[in-house]
Amino acid sequence: MAADRNGGTAVCPGSYDPITYGHLDIIARTAEVFENVIVGVVNMPVRKQKTVFGIEERVAFIEEHVAEYGNVQVKPFDTLLVDFAREHGAKAIVKGLRAISDFEYEFEMNQLNRKMAPDIESIYMMSAPQYSFLRSSGVKELAMFGGDISGLVPDRVAARLQEELKR
Ligand code: PNS
């Protein structure tokens, strides 16, 4: 463990459909602060919104980019987020906040998660300014209409997204 990292494990949860540079920035910054980071990828086919990418591919896209950190693991989960965090001994859930528009949803999630697991703290990291507009759904919409998504998601993700959305 780097001498200046806090002990303990944090979970960075999300659907990551697909991972963006904004997500990767939050994960990298979390890995600077915590000893261990687990990127929790939601695997819930029953959820209302169907994902473009299956769970294996969403996990693989992330693994490719976090391997260099040495203290980040990527794991799918299909339980309540707080149960997943507990199962891995995490003391914190770390999420990115882009704009005020994120606040209302995150505030609600925070209250629900706190009620179920007051021992697990949710911590919010402000997005870097260059990613403050970036969300997976926006990237998918751009890709669907032929927009340029380079610089928003890793190249391999961009190529696969264009392939999938052509169908
Ligand atoms: O916006 P996302 O990426 O789909 O968010 C996923 C996640 C897990 C971060 C969000 O749904 C959340 O905070 N959920 C807490 C409630 C919970 O445990 N739901 C079951 C897993 S989706």
Determine if ligand 1 sits within 6 Å of the CB of residue 14. yes
At residue 165, the pLDDT reads: 84
Ligand 1 atom nearest residue 136's Cα: 3
**Residue 13 Cα to ligand 1 middle (Å):** 7
Rounded to whole angstroms, the Cα distance separating 19 from 17 reads: 6
Instruction: Give the confidence band of 2 by pLDDT, cuts at 50, 70, 90.
Output: low
pLDDT score, position 48: 65
Q: 126 C-alpha vs ligand 1 centroid, how far in Å?
A: 18
Whether 26 shows a pLDDT value over 60: the answer reads: yes
Give strand pairing partners of 123.
94
Average pLDDT, the chain: 93
* Residue 22 alpha carbon to ligand 1 centre in Å: 17
Is residue 96 in contact with ligand 1, taking CB distance under 6 Å?
Answer: no
Work out the pLDDT band at 6, boundaries 50, 70, 90.
confident
Q: Is the CB of 15 under 6 A from ligand 1?
A: yes
pLDDT given at position 166: 75
Q: Which of 109, 136, 139 to mutate to test the pocket of ligand 1 (most atoms within 8 A of CB)?
A: 109
Mean pLDDT for 8-13 is: 97
pTM above 0.75, yes or no: yes
The position carrying tokens 């001994």 is: 89
Distance CA(51)–CA(101), nearest Å, equals 22
Q: Is 13 exposed, middle or buried (0-12, 13-18, 19+ CB in 10 A)?
A: buried
22 lines ligand 1 (CB under 6 A): no
Residue-wise pLDDT for 55-103, tens only, equals 999 999 999 999 999 999 999 999 999 999 999 999 999 999 998 889 9
